[in-house]
Amino acid sequence: MSDSVLTAENVYKEFWTSNRERVAALQAVSIAVPDNAFVCIVGPSGCGKSTLLRLFSGLEKPTSGQVSYRQKPVNRPSAQIGMVFQEYSLLPWRTVADNVALGLEFAGMPKGERAGRAADYLGLVGLGDFAQAYPHELSGGMRQRAAIARALAVAPDVLLMDEPFGALDAHMRILLQKELLRIWENHRQTVIFVTHSVDEALYLADIILVMSRRPGRIKATIQVDMPRPRDRAIPRYGQLYADILAMMDEVT
């Protein structure tokens, strides 16, 4: 695991409900994420995919086991690990440019420098003409691109993405998948991407982690042996799709 950017070692995570009932979310999860890889995590609803992402981000701590970033324990959020949520989480009173510059502002970057950096990343995601717009003036796909630009602007080593395209229509989802791959191929951050869509995982990932039902564990690690750009019509794509769906339908 010494050459891995993120690792989870025998991680167990439990929560307590409002009725004081203990719920095990993750059990015996061990992962080693290679540097610069695009990793997708799929699994049944409620299996702990988002919980695992929050552990990697430092927003949650494991009940037992250890999560590490470049061999150092992850105890809190850091600038090296960025996160994009499904809900966009843009501040409605700030312009798009000011939203993208938010992390840079927290880091103490001078105003002129962070404005230039925000402009660069808005251009990267195709929103250069909307820098002075407000979030409510953008479509859902545009808001998600702004959220991605904000995460990228702080130059994280790792980008965590929690169902970022889940609320979008099918056409916009496909467009943003292509856009995300273009950005990743240019910048090569390590990406860990949670999705309910097996098709999305197959289109994007180098590695797919398939999780079991709760308490979630890693039941399969699949190396996606298809070149990019990927053709959904080839037999190998269809076979992997069927194999992963079958794994997700299994009770254990």
CATH architecture of 4-80+156-249: 3-Layer(aba) Sandwich (3.40)
The pLDDT of residue 145: 86
Buried b (16+ CB within 10 A) or exposed e, 16-51: eeeeeeeeebbbebebebeeebbbbbbbbeebbbbb
The pLDDT of residue 160: 94
pLDDT above 90 for 93: yes
Least Cα distance to 176 among 149, 206, 141 occurs for 141
State the Cα–Cα distance between residues 41 and 229, nearest whole angstrom: 20
Domain ranges of the chain: 4-80+156-249
- Across all residues in the chain, what is the average pLDDT? 90
pLDDT above 70 for 47: yes
The pLDDT of residue 135: 92
Q: What is the pTM of this model?
A: 0.90
pLDDT tens-digit series, residues 129-143: 999 999 999 988 888
pLDDT above 60 for 219: yes
Tokens encoding 67: 């999560």
